[in-house]
């Protein structure tokens, strides 16, 4: 192989481009990263070479040298349903507008898996991380801190948390819904929730129901609680269990819309009329809530705004520009047919 040959059987590198354009590798690099720091003539020469050779920069080499990836990682509990889809979409869009790429991983609601994913994303050089929920082993935050990786916790709000939170008050949101439920005359309340262990969104929501009951003078023990994994089928199974108990609830408050829709489907299957025989509520207000029959009464969460604000917060943290990093969003009750008055 003669000197000056541009390697033909290997994917082209910066050096190949430099040789082809007759400049140094430094110049090529500059052309790509700060085009204004190079005179137009050479720039054109270089860009032509880039096109000619079909050069694509090696991300890993770049990350290694620059210690920056323009990449932000997000770990969400599940991709199986649409709960996080909308928020994540907005998150990604906002990152994209700022030239940052999103890396997603899902933890299947498993703490250990999440920790593994965190390590993976960090070792891949993520400039920052989006996590869902705040409560987790302090070691995790210590690790992230040591590695100098900024984090934002979303889907929750806690001004006292060690890391910025962008989200809403799960406790208050569910409490408001429970108050509405109670005001409609319901006393025999049941709930289908995700495992509350290690899931602050779920446990806060449960706390919300209990608080509303207490304030209304209903004994906390009257609440039937079923913990299950999120899923349409799981919601159905849970509902069946509830309806075979001694005291059948007049309303089932579900931890999210997916469970609620599953519960409604099963209720109908059991010959129950929703909401005449049984009211059902959800949480999230994702698309299926609207098309459910009957349409689902639920808590509307501003998913898109949350995603966008979380991205902004994170971009602020990885960059130098300061900005708000603790953001509380409002939820609203979305009253639809699945919840009705109760009279004994």
Partner DNA sequence: TTGTATGCGTTATCAG
Partner DNA sequence: CTGATAACGCATACAA
Residue 24's binding partner among its own copies, DNA, none (Cβ under 5 to 8 angstroms by kind) is DNA
CA distance 221 to 258: 26
Task: Please tell me the chain's helix, strand, coil percentages from 3-state DSSP, rounded to the nearest 5.
Answer: 45, 15, 40
Residue 230's binding partner among its own copies, DNA, none (Cβ under 5 to 8 angstroms by kind) is none
The nearest distance, CB 149 to its own copies, in angstroms, is 9
Stretch that binds its own copies, among 13-21, 169-177, 190-198, 256-264 (CB under 8 A): 256-264
The nearest distance, CB 80 to its own copies, in angstroms, is 5
Q: Which is nearer to its own copies, 194 or 232 (CB)?
A: 232
Q: Which is nearer to DNA, 32 or 194 (CB)?
A: 32
Q: Which is nearer to its own copies, 200 or 234 (CB)?
A: 234
CA distance 105 to 75: 5
Residue 55's binding partner among its own copies, DNA, none (Cβ under 5 to 8 angstroms by kind) is DNA
Among 25, 42, 98, 101, binds its own copies (CB under 8 A): 101
Q: Which is nearer to its own copies, 194 or 259 (CB)?
A: 259
Among 28, 151, 252, 288, binds its own copies (CB under 8 A): 288
Burial 201-230 (b: 16+ CB within 10 A, else e): bbbbbbbbbbbbbeeeebeeeebbebbbeb
The nearest distance, CB 46 to DNA, in angstroms, is 9
CA distance 106 to 110: 9
Q: Does 148 help bind its own copies (rule: CB under 8 A)? A: yes
Q: Which of 35, 49, 95 shows the shortest CA–CA distance to 70?
A: 95
Q: Does 15 help bind its own copies (rule: CB under 8 A)? A: no
SS3 state at 74: strand
SS3 state at 124: coil
Q: Does 83 help bind its own copies (rule: CB under 8 A)? A: no
Q: Which of 234, 285, 210 shows the shortest CA–CA distance to 109?
A: 234
Secondary structure of 172-212 as H, E, C letters: HHHHHHHHHHHHCCCCCEEEEECCCCCCHHHHHHHHHHHHH
Q: Which of 287, 231, 257, 256 shows the shortest CA–CA distance to 86?
A: 287
- What's the token pair of residue 236? 């159905």
Residue 184's binding partner among DNA, its own copies, none (Cβ under 5 to 8 angstroms by kind) is none
Q: Which of 90, 72, 188 shows the shortest CA–CA distance to 131?
A: 72
Q: Is the peptide bond before 180 cis (omega within 30 degrees of 0)?
A: no
Rule CB under 8 A: which of 215-244 touch its own copies?
232-233
Tell me which residues touch DNA (CB under 7 A): 10-11, 13-15, 22-27, 29-30, 32-33, 37-39, 41-43, 55-58, 61-62, 64-68
Q: Which is nearer to DNA, 54 or 219 (CB)?
A: 54
CA distance 222 to 249: 10
Q: Which is nearer to its own copies, 212 or 310 (CB)?
A: 310
Q: Does 59 help bind its own copies (rule: CB under 8 A)? A: yes
Among 15, 26, 64, 247, binds its own copies (CB under 8 A): 64
Residues that bind its own copies (CB under 8 A): 11, 54, 56-61, 63-64, 69, 79-82, 85-86, 88-89, 92, 101, 103-104, 106, 119-120, 122-125, 143, 146-148, 232-233, 261-262, 264-265, 268, 287-288, 290-293
């Amino acid at each position: 192989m003669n000197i000056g040959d541009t390697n033909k059987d290997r994917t082209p590198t910066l050096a190949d481009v430099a040789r082809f354009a007759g400049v140094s590798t430094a110049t090529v690099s500059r052309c790509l990263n700060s085009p204004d720091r190079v005179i137009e003539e050479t720039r054109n020469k270089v860009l032509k070479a880039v096109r000619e050779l079909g050069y694509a920069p090696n991300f890993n080499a770049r990350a290694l040298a620059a210690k920056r990836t323009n990449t932000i990682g997000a770990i969400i509990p599940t991709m199986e349903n649409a709960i996080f889809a909308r928020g994540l979409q907005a998150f990604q869009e906002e990152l994209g507008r700022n030239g940052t790429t999103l890396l997603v991983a899902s933890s299947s609601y498993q703490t250990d898996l999440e920790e593994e994913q965190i390590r993976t994303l960090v070792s891949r050089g993520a400039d920052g991380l989006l996590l869902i929920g705040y409560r987790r082993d302090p070691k995790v935050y210590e690790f992230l801190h040591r590695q100098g990786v900024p984090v934002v916790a979303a889907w929750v709000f806690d001004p006292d948390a060690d890391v910025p939170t962008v989200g809403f008050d799960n406790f208050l949101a569910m409490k408001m819904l429970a108050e509405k439920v109670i005001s409609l005359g319901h006393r025999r309340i049941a709930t289908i929730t995700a495992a509350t262990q290690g899931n602050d969104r779920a446990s806060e929501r449960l706390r919300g129901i209990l608080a509303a009951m207490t304030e209304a003078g209903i004994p906390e023990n009257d609440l039937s609680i079923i913990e299950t994994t999120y899923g349409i089928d799981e919601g159905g199974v849970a509902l069946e269990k509830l309806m075979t108990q001694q005291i059948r609830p007049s309303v089932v408050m579900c931890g999210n819309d997916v469970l609620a829709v599953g519960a409604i489907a099963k209720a109908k299957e059991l010959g129950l009329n929703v909401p005449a025989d049984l009211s059902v509520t959800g949480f999230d207000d994702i698309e299926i809530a609207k098309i459910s029959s009957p349409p689902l009464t639920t808590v509307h969460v501003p998913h898109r705004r949350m995603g966008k604000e979380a991205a902004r917060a994170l971009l602020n943290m990885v960059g130098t520009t300061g900005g708000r990093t603790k953001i509380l969003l409002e939820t609203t009750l979305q009253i639809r047919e699945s919840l009705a008055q109760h009279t004994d």
